[in-house]
Structure 1
Amino acid sequence: MTPPQVVVVMGVSGTGKTTVGRLLADELAVAYAEADSFHPPANIAKMSAGTPLDDADREPWLDAIAAWARERVEHAGAATSSPYGVRGVRGVVSCSALKRAYRDRLRGAGPGVFFLHLDGPPELITERLGGRQGHFMPRTLLDSQYADLQPLQADEAGVVLSVAEDPESIVRKAVTALERAAGADNGSGQATG
């Protein structure tokens, strides 16, 4: 298994992908990108109107994210390290990546794409979305996201972490999972926490 090089913080809307992604990137001292910034205006308008995106809408968005990840892998200098000793991670990006096909497209960036799936029950996520201000994604689309969500498979490098904990605890667990994956000589590197 290739050690993690780019971490994709994934999950349905409202799981804290941006918060955890930024904290993790800061912890690892690497670049961070928010997948929402890769959406073309037409996608944002569609979601703002309460219409779910289809696969065709997502293809150029996923390709742009994969290009960002590929750039991190191909043009990074020396491996970075954190106080926890994780080496080789060169970027963190938040992206829903709900379907296996979407994750396959992101893995096209090259070896070393690692998925950090933030998971939580619909009731908790609905409550969080109710308190969120200024985001184009309406709460009414949450059901469609859960319907699309396909869990990580055994051959996908990644970890599933509960969002019931505070973001700092999630980041600590993510770093531990990355260390484990970086040291793994074989196996999927997938774990739950």
Structure 2
Amino acid sequence: MLYIIAGVSGSGKTTLGKLLAKRLGLSFYDADDFHPHSNIEKMKSGQALTDEDRFPWLLTLHDNLLTWDKQGGAVLACSALKEKYRSILSGYNEVEIKWIFIVADNLLLKQRLESRKNHFFNPILLESQLKVLELPDYGLKIPADLDLEKQLDMII
């Protein structure tokens, strides 16, 4: 089974994703690790990525999801901000994905981003992510301010 933990930067995708993968005995992957260097440099400089910037990255993630599905599943932390991004990731429903969306208020997100160390995401980009976020009517919605164990219990 494939699980995608989605949400804007600072929502806790990676932390929750690693714990979920460990609990389920699956491999964990962070979508940030698959960005091309040009995307990382653009975000470091405070420039928001465009759909054109994201398209090759999303295709790479989709290809990996197909592989991970054949290997028995995985957990992926990925922003997956727009419905068209989620469609690319799933290959327009080519693979079954359990979607988990972490939702948080702006104050919590800003606090988390400001306290982060050694991450390329420039906190000034949060507003651009919130502006394009399309929260779907499917999938599990998890409040970011819940204790991690409670978040895991909701998913399991």
Q: TM-score, normalised by structure 1?
A: 0.77
The CA distance in 2 between the partners of 1:60 and 1:167, in whole Å, is 32
Q: Secondary structure of 1:69's match?
A: helix
Aligned to 2:85: 102
* Offset of residue 68 of structure 1: 1.3
For 1:19-168, list aligned pairs within 5 A: 19-76=15-72, 90-108=73-91, 110-153=94-137, 156=138, 158-168=139-149
Higher alpha-carbon Rg:
1
Taking every aligned residue pair, what percent have the same amino acid on both sides? 35
Give the drift of 1:75.
Answer: 3.6
**Structure 1 unaligned blocks of 5 or more:** 77-89, 176-193
- Could you tell me how far apart the structure 2 residues matched to 1:11 and 1:100 are? 12
Large movers: runs of 4+ above 2 Å: none
CA contact (8 A) 1:33 1:94 kept: yes
Q: What value does the CA root-mean-square deviation take over the aligned residues?
A: 1.1
Gap regions ≥5 residues in structure 2: none
Q: Kindly indicate whether the alpha-carbon contact (under 8 Å) linking 1:73 and 1:110 is maintained by their aligned counterparts in 2.
A: no
Q: 1:22 is paired with a residue of what secondary structure? A: helix
Give aligned pairs, total. 155
Task: Please tell me the residue identity of whatever aligns with 1:127.
Answer: Q
1:110: Cα distance to partner?
2.4
Q: Aligned partner of 1:110: which letter?
A: E
C-alpha distance after superposition, 1:61-106 (max 9, x if no partner) = 1111111111122243xxxxxxxxxxxxx11000000000000111
Letter in 1 for 2:123: R
Cα separation, 1, equivalents of 2:32 and 2:82:
17
TM-score by length of 2: 0.95
Distance in structure 2 (CA, Å) of the matches to 1:111 and 1:36? 21
More helix by share: 2
1:15 aligns with 2:11: yes
SS of the residue 2:116 aligns to: coil
Render the CA deviation track for 1:29-87: whole Å, top value 9, x for unaligned: 011111011000000000000000000110111111111111122243xxxxxxxxxxx
